[in-house]
Amino acid sequence: MSKSNKPQVTSISKARTLEEIAEFWDTHSLADYWDQTHEVEFEVRAQRRRRVTLDPDIYSRVESQAHTRGLLPETLVNLWLAERLQETVSIEVERGER
């Protein structure tokens, strides 16, 4: 919503939601609207990623498990690490360590 509480409409697609915008651009070419565009500046605030080196054998096993589940290896590793960290916190709380 804009400051005036009216739904914002994109200038080219006239869409009101991200889904409508996606649907529009799935069926239209930007080349057809190039003359209606203008240069903009924006800041990307992506979180910095950290890399962890895995043993090749471990990576192969993770890759196989991820494929079985229909996930990327990176996604599976993140899920597993998050689960393990939560388990660790729960154990520490039970022991009164936190």
- Which of the pair, 5 or 12, is modelled with greater confidence? 12
Instruction: Note the pLDDT tens digit of each residue in 72-86.
Output: 999 999 999 999 999
Instruction: Note the pLDDT tens digit of each residue in 14-57.
Output: 888 889 999 999 999 999 999 988 898 988 888 888 999 999 99
29 torsion bin: left (phi>0), alpha (psi -120 to 50), beta (else): beta
pLDDT at position 4 is 60
On the 0-12 / 13-18 / 19+ scale of CB atoms within 10 A, 42 is exposed
Q: Is 27 helix (H, G, I), strand (E, B) or coil?
A: coil
pTM of the model: 0.51
Residue 92 has pLDDT above 90, yes or no: no
Q: Give the span between the Cα atoms of 94 and 83, in whole angstroms.
A: 17
Q: Give the span between the Cα atoms of 97 and 91, in whole angstroms.
A: 8
Q: Which two tokens stand for residue 60?
A: 């192969």
- Summarize the chain as % helix, strand, coil (round to 5): 55, 0, 45
